[in-house]
Amino acid sequence: MCIFCKIVAGELPSYKVYEDDKTLAFLDIKPTSLGHILVVSKIHYANLEEIAEEDLSALILTVKKLGAKLKNKLGVSGYNIIVNNDPVSGQEIPHIHFHLIPRSKEDSFSSWPKISYAPGEADKILKQLIS
């Protein structure tokens, strides 16, 4: 059983922010910024490709609800919604989850680097994706 399943089952403590029949949200214990929330499905799915559409809908609706709460209750002006999908992307816990990371103009959290396509590379990738 993964760590998030143990939190859902009540076997491990958490700073619970929200719960309904399909989702659970709690503070990240190693936050990127204060108020960093993790939103998880109560059913174990490893990634976006595995999760049932009904459960994904519930998950994103919880993300939306808590994003508004970050703005209204903590006074943040914005937040990042991040899903690391599979280990190569940085997913450390193999259980689908969304990060809600409060942002401020003063924080040091930086976005990812931007690269450029080599000539013809975008066309090649586009053909692979739409074929």
Question: How far is the C-alpha of 29 from the C-alpha of 120, rounded, in Å?
Answer: 44
Give catalytic status of residue 97 as yes or no.
Answer: yes
Rounded to 5 degrees, φ, ψ at 99 are -100, 135
Residue pair 45/51 in contact by the 8 Å Cβ criterion = yes
- The phi and psi torsions of 73 (rounded to 5 degrees) equal -95, -35
Given the residues 36, 95, 97, 99, select the one marked as catalytic. Answer: 97
Alpha-carbon dihedral 114, 75, 42, 96, rounded to 10 degrees: 10
Beta-carbon contacts of 43 under 8 Å, excluding residues fewer than 6 positions away, are 22, 52, 55
Q: Catalogue the active-site residues.
A: 97
